[in-house]
């Protein structure tokens, strides 16, 4: 007769095999995630903040390759790689100046089910579409973000490819370069995670009498490692575990900005208040221990908001009264398009065509652009930049 431990192990193994089958089904024929999304010339011009005429002129005079076309001569649209090249040629990159500090944003809430990993991956891909250089660091041993990037944390990722060799009691890596993986996005990289990253928590908990100094050393080490890596990026997005553990504390200390997603329900509101209260106490203790924590901004964003649910409206009103301007004004709407994309281990920004109706897709994408664009403006304000101007809008008034 199976013991409970064996039964749970069997359930885990069966689930892991199913994840791998789903992954292979989603990424056929080569069982590897690709990026096939395309942008028309009008959308490309909007993303570059220039006119369609400027793109056509650059194609005509040879500075840009001819517009991609299918066999029947129709434009197929520009890939993300094409957009990156266009930004370089037309001097339209939004990248920070060399003296600007990279934004290192922790997306954190101790309440599960608030869409933390969904917000992380969509935020990364939003910044990728806009042309920024992005690094995502999955610090959560549950590895949802790693999965959404197309890696199976059980079959594709070993412990040596996570933060573990750098943060463990007996580290085998002196910097974090070893862990950086390319993703289908040319300007978005990932440090993945898997279940074995949790071993760091065990090791540090067992550090004994000098545990406090070991913890402090690990905190400073993660911060230094991320700062060294961040020199090659515009924005680093950290996805910590949804619990108050060693890794969570190290991540929150390494960040220079904090984004807190929360759903529009009373339990989520209450638990987020508890999270903020706990954060306040922990940050005081870190400062007392000589560990500096400094955020350029702290914002809350309402995720999974259903505009047709009166209770969501009520809870959001309570959030506005409680948090004031720290609550971002545009929430992320609860959309079937996000759920359908997640089933395919994708974000909405990776979809070649709508999964639901075109109207649902367009509304979802417009909302994500507006909601996540609020965070882009916070980052750019930190660099002393104003909102980017579309020259066609400027010329045409």
Confidence band, pLDDT 50/70/90 cuts, at residue 170: confident
Summarize the confidence of residues 256-265 as an average pLDDT. 92
Cβ pair 300, 326 in contact under 8 A? yes
Q: Which of 261, 255, 227, 257 is nearest to 377 (CA)?
A: 257
Q: With 50 as the cut, is the pLDDT of residue 35 above it?
A: yes
Say how many residues make up the chain. Answer: 397
Locate tokens 């649910």: which residue? 309
| R_g of the chain, CA atoms, integer Å | 22
Q: Are strands 235-239 and 103-107 parallel, antiparallel or unpaired?
A: parallel
Distance CA 352, CA 34 (A): 11
| Pair of tokens at residue 24 | 């292979």
Locate tokens 């922990």: which residue? 282
3-state secondary structure of 141: coil
DSSP H helices, the chain, are 4-26, 41-48, 52-60, 80-89, 116-130, 144-148, 164-167, 199-205, 211-230, 246-254, 266-288, 310-323, 336-343, 358-382, 391-396
Summarize the confidence of residues 315-326 as an average pLDDT. 91
Half-sphere CA count of 100, side-chain side, radius 13 A: 18
59-68, 108-117, 123-132, 329-338: lowest mean pLDDT where? 108-117
Entry pTM: 0.89
Q: What is the pLDDT of residue 138?
A: 96
Q: Rounded to 5 degrees, what angle do the CA atoms 347, 302, 294 make?
A: 95
Q: What is the pLDDT of residues 349-372, one digit of tens each?
A: 999 889 989 999 999 999 999 999
**For residue 262, what are the β-bridge partners?**
302
Confidence band, pLDDT 50/70/90 cuts, at residue 396: low
Selected residue with higher pLDDT from 34 and 379: 379
Summarize the confidence of residues 286-294 as an average pLDDT. 79
Q: With 50 as the cut, is the pLDDT of residue 157 above it?
A: yes
User: How confident is the prediction for the chain on average, in pLDDT?
Assistant: 86
| E strand or H helix that includes residue 192 | none
Q: Rounded to 5 degrees, what angle do the CA atoms 279, 274, 268 make?
A: 120
Phi and psi, residue 60, nearest 5°: -70, -40
Parts of the chain belonging to CATH 3.40.50.300: 103-396
Half-sphere CA count of 11, side-chain side, radius 13 A: 7
Parts of the chain belonging to CATH 1.10.1660.10: 22-93
3-state secondary structure of 251: helix
User: What percent of the chain clears pLDDT 70, i.e. is strictly above it?
Assistant: 88
Q: What is the pLDDT of residue 109?
A: 85
Q: What is the pLDDT of residue 23?
A: 67
Give the CATH fold of the 22-93 domain.
Multidrug-efflux Transporter Regulator; Chain: A; Domain 2 (1.10.1660)
Cβ pair 310, 317 in contact under 8 A? no
Q: With 90 as the cut, is the pLDDT of residue 86 above it?
A: yes
Produce one character per residue of 144-153: b if its CB has 16 or more CB atoms within 10 Å, e if not: bbbbbbbbbb
Q: What is the pLDDT of residues 202-243, one digit of tens each?
A: 887 776 555 567 777 778 889 999 999 999 999 999 999 888
Exposed/middle/buried for 3, CB within 10 Å: 0-12, 13-18, 19+?
exposed
Distance CA 299, CA 99 (A): 24
Q: With 90 as the cut, is the pLDDT of residue 24 above it?
A: no
Q: With 80 as the cut, is the pLDDT of residue 3 above it?
A: no
Q: What is the pLDDT of residue 51?
A: 92
Summarize the confidence of residues 285-295 as an average pLDDT. 80
Q: Does domain 103-396 have CATH number 3.40.50.300?
A: yes
Tell how far CA 133 is from the center of its chain: 12
């Amino acid at each position: 007769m199976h013991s409970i431990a064996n039964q749970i192990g069997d359930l885990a193994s069966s689930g892991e095999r199913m994840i791998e089958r789903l992954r292979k089904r989603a990424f056929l024929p080569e069982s590897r995630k690709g990026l096939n999304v395309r942008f028309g010339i009008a959308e490309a011009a909007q993303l570059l903040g220039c006119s369609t005429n400027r793109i056509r002129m650059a194609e005509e005079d040879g500075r840009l390759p001819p517009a991609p076309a299918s066999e029947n001569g129709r434009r197929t649209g520009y890939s993300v790689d094409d957009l990156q090249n266009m930004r370089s040629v037309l001097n339209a990159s939004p990248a920070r100046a060399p003296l600007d500090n990279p934004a290192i944003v922790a997306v954190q809430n101790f309440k599960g089910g608030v869409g933390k990993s969904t917000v992380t991956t969509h935020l990364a891909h939003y910044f990728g579409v806009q042309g920024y250089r992005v690094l995502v660091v999955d610090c959560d041993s549950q590895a949802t973000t790693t999965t959404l990037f197309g890696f199976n944390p059980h079959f594709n990722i070993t412990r040596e490819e996570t933060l573990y060799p750098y943060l463990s009691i007996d580290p085998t890596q002196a910097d974090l370069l070893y862990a950086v993986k390319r993703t289908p996005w040319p300007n978005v990289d990932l440090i993945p995670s898997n279940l074995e990253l949790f071993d760091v928590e065990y090791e540090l908990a067992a550090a004994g009498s000098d545990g406090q100094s070991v913890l402090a050393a690990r905190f400073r080490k993660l911060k230094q490692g991320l700062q060294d890596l961040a020199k090659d990026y515009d924005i680093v997005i950290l996805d910590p575990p949804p619990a108050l553990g060693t890794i969570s504390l190290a991540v929150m200390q390494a960040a220079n900005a904090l984004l807190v997603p929360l759903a529009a329900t009373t339990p989520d509101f209450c638990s987020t208040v508890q999270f903020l209260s706990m954060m306040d106490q922990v940050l005081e203790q870190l400062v007392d221990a000589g560990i500096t924590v400094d955020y350029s901004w702290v914002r809350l964003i309402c995720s999974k908001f259903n505009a047709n649910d009166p209770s969501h409206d009520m809870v959001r009103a309570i959030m506005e009264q409680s948090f004031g301007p720290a609550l971002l004004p545009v929430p992320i709407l609860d959309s079937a398009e996000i759920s359908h994309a997640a089933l395919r281990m994708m974000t909405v920004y990776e979809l070649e065509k709508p999964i639901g109706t075109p109207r649902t897709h367009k509304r979802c994408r417009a909302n994500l652009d507006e909601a996540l664009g609020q965070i882009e403006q916070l980052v750019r304000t930190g660099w002393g930049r104003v909102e980017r101007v579309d020259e066609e809008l400027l010329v045409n008034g």
